[in-house]
Chains A and B, each alone.
Chain A
Amino acid sequence: MRATDVDIPPNPSDATLVEERRPTPALPFLGRAPEAFMRLVFREDRFFLVLSVFIGIFAGLSVVCFRFAIAWCRIYLLGSGATLTPLRMVLAPSLAGLFIAVLVIHVFPLARGSGVNQTKAALYIYNGYIPLRTAVGKFITAALAIGSGHSLGPEDPSLQIGASLASALGRRMRLSRDRMRLIAPVGAAAGLAAAFNAPISAVLFVIEEVIGRWTAGILGSVVLSAVSSVVVMRWFLGSESMFRIPAVQMERPTELIAYSVLGIVGGLASVAFSSGIATLRPWCKALPRWTQYFQPAIAGLLIGIIAVLGAPQVMGAGYVYIDEAMHGQFTWQMLAILAGLKIIATLLSFVSGTPGGMFAPTLFIGAMLGAAVGGAEHVLFPHLSGSLGTYALVGMGVLFAGFLRAPMTSVFMVLEVSGNYSIILPVLIANTFSYLISRGLQPTAIFDVLTRQDGLELPSMEEQREEGTLRVEDAMRPASRAVLDTVLEAHDSLDQVLQRWDAKLPEVRLVRLDPTGWSIITRQALEIMVKEGKGNLTLGSALSGRQILFLHPDNPLETALRYVDRWPLLPVVNRADFRKLEGVISQQDVLKRYQLFGEEEGTPE
């Protein structure tokens, strides 16, 4: 939409428009320092950026402490060795589960679950409010759960801890409602980035799954907080990747077929995993309240039994074993078994309400499944050049895309974790297959399933992405000969125009001004001007200063809606040539199109 040189009738919103467009000097504080400088820095939007850095620092420090806490819980509950004793494997998750249940039920009721939806709810429902108590609760219960061997990860809790800290900070700062709403996702990005040691993925995930829109202001804050939290985390824990990244190879393009197979298998596994959660979670929640005290303990007991029976790898986040899988330390059959058992173990932990994240288990399942598929393919086709590590890396992205339904994040996550751009093609192919299969078989994404099960109606980012957008071209009347014949030119004199304006022509007509710009004139206004003795004037000089807005065919229809009530008719012009009329649009056209759209789509619930 072109809005410059517009004669807009005065109203409050227009005033704002004018204010925002007033050019600002590049360095305004130079003239009136120091007050101007302070004014510049402490404007709320800029102060929000400064605050984002602090949020990142605090979130980073909290995540570092969280990692320490998990490690200590692991050492003291499961033992310090690589091989765990059967007794500890069974007792630690069971007893920890019992304790966690008491804490969650009586002290930290909001600490239940992964934390992504709670952050989203803070953004859309609670005006950015997440109690600090939730962060404390999440910290304690998730550290206990993961450290004792529950099949959950530290990323989503870190995300919630970051969001909760940010929210507390925002409340202290008495930020405006708009900023308060955004502050939780900013903290979430910081928490996730520190937990994942991957700032790009964290930023993308928060934008893609929590906020759902890109603007410079949001992006700036989210990036600043993510970067500062990662810097803090790396200061304390080092910058090594979570896994030793194997060499990535792909000698022949035909090998993409092998990765497509991985995408299909990953998509089906994602559906199985998310269907399991979608089915079992409400069932567990529907059980009598007293059983909630025992659900995490029973989940822990069953995970312990799986571990004792020969798969201790399913306990905890399992990053060590992802690393081992990447370096060919399991047979493909064992990898497939581990992927299956991890799905079961994570289902048990998650549906029992044990606090903890799903990112790490998703990566674990993906890595195992990827390496298993790669291993099996190598048996069938020994000439394949991709190492098991490459398949494991791609597999992680596949599950991320299929289960968490974050397609862009999944691609960048693998790139960021592997630090190798040559893996891009396999990742893109496999992730696309996985995402499409998952979407096809289970239309609702897992995070949306979870929020609906909790009785909340949060906007689904996936559904938003899929939603059709109405554009001006959908509602405008195209510039047919009949329409074009009604357009007046600036060089026509008022007398001439009035003489030629017969009763068949519309009451309102567009005027094409020189060199660019459009205006409108009614027959009545023309008659008045002629009566006033302005008949010799051209339309251009008579209407100068009365330009109207014009639109482009690809402008969203809602943009048109903002202006169509001010003028009876608006021109829709070509983007390359503003004098070329593509169509005309009026308020009636817009409303008619919306009415039609409602009938096509059905009324939303």
Chain B
Amino acid sequence: MLEPEGDAQATAGNKRDFRRYLRREAVILALLSALAVIFFVAVTALSHIYEAQQEFLGNRWFLRGAADLKQRHFESAVTEFRAALLYSRDSYTYQLNLAEALVGLKRTAEAYAYFINLWDREPENGLVNLELARIAAQKGETEQALRYYHNAIYATWPGDQQVQRRDTRLELIQYLLNINAKTHAQAELIALAANLEDDPMQQSRVGDLFLQAQDYEHALGEYRLSLKAEPHDPTALAGAGFSAFQLGRYSLAESYLQAAASANPNDAQSAARLRTAALVMEMDPFQRQISVALRDRIVLKAFAAAGQRLESCSTAGAAKGPATIPVAQPGLTEEWAKMKPRITELGLRRDPDLVNTAMELVFSIERQTSNACGAASETDAALLLIAKLHESN
């Protein structure tokens, strides 16, 4: 189809214009791209300068802060770490140190905010978990504290992981003991003891903790392990003595406590326990390998001591009034008085069953007077321990 001449010219003109427009726009696009690249390179160079300066300033303030933190100048350390964070806001190390300094200043809430943020970033960090556990423990949030302590025990640590994990578990055990969660503490202690190396100091320390957790059997075991390497360690000897004492193994306790008292003459507690243990040994008519005569003498002595205890308790009760100190059951006094004529060496020899009857009365008197009248003489204390020993047997 033929186009009119004017139309054809206009179309050709339009095409020319459009081609010119295309060329212009393509050139502009190319120029813009080039400009963007140049600008980008320039800003990259500027950015390197900026970043280098930021890094330098951040590092400078961090080093100052670290030095202050080491010297326990927490206030200045906080300021300096904050300054360091101005230049590297997300630096894990800076935040961790700032949080540590805040803990030092007892600004727990602020420290917690940092630690929780760090925990979000690295939940496997041992130190962060430990600090969070400490904060939770301070706040009385036991469940949280236990969770973070356990996290910390199985977390990654810088340096010697074994030592850090052991120390964390020790701290957890101490926390459990403080909140009187003894069963839980015993479980943790057993786990700790299983992984303990042959370090007498650590074994002795674990023994102490077992003692605190009232697990005397394991405590004695740990002290014995410790004493294998350090046989004259007074602390381990005293601990072993006390453990054996608590287990009712007075003979063993006596030997350890004797050694402890010799190793450390200033250890009054061990000396007192030694005396008690010796007295228990001396006053126990049910020990094996003692003669009948000696057994009868012990029974006589114990019976007399019980009578004295009854008398002193009744006198004290009468003086202070029945309302303040409850007097032992009057039946015991009558029973004791009724039995007294029969408790002679001859009587005991004639009727060996009387030993048991007499000692049962003695134990009853000691138990009831200890409840009603409180602390008594060393002999009474020994009799009470013998009572407990045979009660459990």
Interface residues of A, Cβ cutoff 8 Å to B: 35, 38-39, 42, 47, 50-51, 54, 57-58, 61, 64-65, 68, 71-72, 75, 80-83, 169, 172-173, 232, 236, 238, 240, 244, 246-247, 320, 327-329
Q: What B residues does A82 contact at CB under 8 A? A: 61, 79-80, 82-83, 85-86
Q: How far is the CB of B33 from chain A (nearest CB, A)?
A: 8
Docked-complex contact B36 and A80, CB < 8 angstroms: no
- Of the 9-residue stretches B18-26, B124-132, B158-166, B182-190, which lies at the interface with chain A? B18-26
Instruction: Give 1 or 0 for each of B266-290: 1 = CB within 8 Å of chain A CB.
Output: 0000000000000000000000000
- Separation in Å of the A127 CB from the closest CB of chain B? 20
Residue of A68, A247, A327 near B47 (CB, 8 A) is: A68
Q: How far is the CA of A398 from the CA of B279 in the complex (A)?
A: 80
B53: chain A residues within 8 A (beta carbon): 75
The dominant DSSP class at the B interface is: helix
- B337 interface residue (CB < 8 Å to A): no
- Kindly state whether residue B17 has any CB partner on chain A within 8 Å: no
Q: Is the CB of A80 within 8 A of B83?
A: yes
Q: Please report which residues of chain B, range 22-69, place their CB below 8 angstroms from some CB of chain A when the two chains form the complex.
A: 22, 25-26, 28-29, 32, 35-36, 39-40, 43-44, 46-47, 50, 53-54, 57, 61
CA A75 to CA B22, docked complex, whole Å:
49
The interface size of chain B toward A, counting residues with CB under 8 Å, comes to: 36
**B335 near A: Cβ within 8 Å?**
no
Whether B12 sits at the interface, judged by CB under 8 Å, is no
- Quick one: given A82-B83, A328-B109, are A58 and B39 in contact (CB under 8 Å)? yes
* Cβ contact within 8 Å between B47 and A236: yes
> Are B79 and A83 within 8 A (Cβ)?
yes
Asked whether any CB of chain A lies closer than 8 Å to the CB of B89, the reply is yes
A243 CB to nearest chain B CB (Å): 10
CB of B110 within 8 A of CB of A329, answer yes
Q: Cα distance A80–B82 when bound, in Å?
A: 11
B90 within 8 A of A: yes
| Contact (A68, B57) CB under 8 Å given A61-B40, A61-B43, A327-B113 | no
B333, chain A: closest CB distance, angstroms: 59
Note all chain B residues with C-beta closer than 8 A to A240: 89-90
The answer to whether B50 and A68 have CB atoms under 8 Å apart is: yes
8 more CB-based (< 8 A) A-B contacts, given A80-B61, A328-B110: A47-B25, A51-B32, A82-B86, A172-B28, A236-B43, A240-B90, A329-B110, A329-B113
Please give the distance in Å from B122's CB to the nearest CB on chain A: 15
- For B40, list chain A residues within 8 Å (CB): 57, 61, 232
Partner among B29, B39, B85, B86 whose Cβ is within 8 Å of the Cβ of A50: B29
B117 within 8 A of A: yes
**Can you sample 16 A-B contacts with CB below 8 Å?**
A42-B26, A54-B32, A58-B36, A61-B43, A64-B47, A68-B46, A71-B54, A75-B57, A80-B61, A82-B83, A172-B28, A173-B28, A236-B44, A240-B89, A328-B110, A329-B109
| Residues on the B chain within 8 Å of A327, using CB | 110, 113-114, 117
What's the nearest-Cβ distance from chain A to residue B22, in Å?
5
CB–CB B61/A64 < 8 A: no
- Complex A-B, nearest 8 residue pairs according to Cβ-Cβ distance, in ascending order: A327-B113, A82-B82, A82-B83, A81-B83, A42-B25, A329-B110, A68-B50, A54-B32
Whether B61 lies near A81 (C-beta < 8 A) is yes
Hey, which bits of chain B sit against chain A, CB under 8 A? 18, 21-22, 25-26, 28-29, 32, 35-36, 39-40, 43-44, 46-47, 50, 53-54, 57, 61, 79-80, 82-83, 85-87, 89-90, 109-110, 113-114, 116-117
Give Cα A57 to B35, complex, Å: 10
Q: A71 to B110, Cβ gap below 8 A?
A: no
- Docked pose: A54 CA to B28 CA in angstroms: 11
What is the bound-complex CA distance between A430 and B79, given in angstroms?
35
A78 to B35 alpha-carbon distance, docked (Å): 35
Alpha-carbon gap, A327 to B22, bound state (A): 56
Measured in the bound complex, the distance between the Cα atoms of B113 and A328 in whole Å is: 7
Q: Are A39 and B22 in contact, with the CB atoms below 8 A?
A: yes
Kindly list chain A residues whose C-beta atoms are within 8 Å of the C-beta of B109: 328-329
Of chain A, the residue at the smallest CB distance from B113 is A327
Residues of A within 8 A of B87 (CB): 80
CB distance from A28 to the nearest CB of B (A): 15
CB proximity of B339 to chain A, nearest CB, Å? 65
Chain A residue contacts of B29, Cβ below 8 A: 50
* B110-A64 in contact (CB<8A): no
Chain A residues in 8 Å Cβ range of B18:
39
Which residues of chain B are within 8 angstroms of A328 by Cβ–Cβ distance?
Answer: 109-110, 113
Interface centre among A81, A169, A236 (most CB of B within 10 A): A81
Q: Within the complex, what minimum Cβ distance (angstroms) separates A232 from chain B?
A: 8
Contacts of B80 in A (CB 8 A): 81-82
- Is B113 in contact with A65, judged by CB distance below 8 angstroms? no
- Please measure, in the bound complex, the distance between the C-alpha atom of A328 and the C-alpha atom of B85, giving whole angstroms: 18
B32, B46, B86, B90: residue with the most chain A Cβ atoms closer than 10 Å: B32
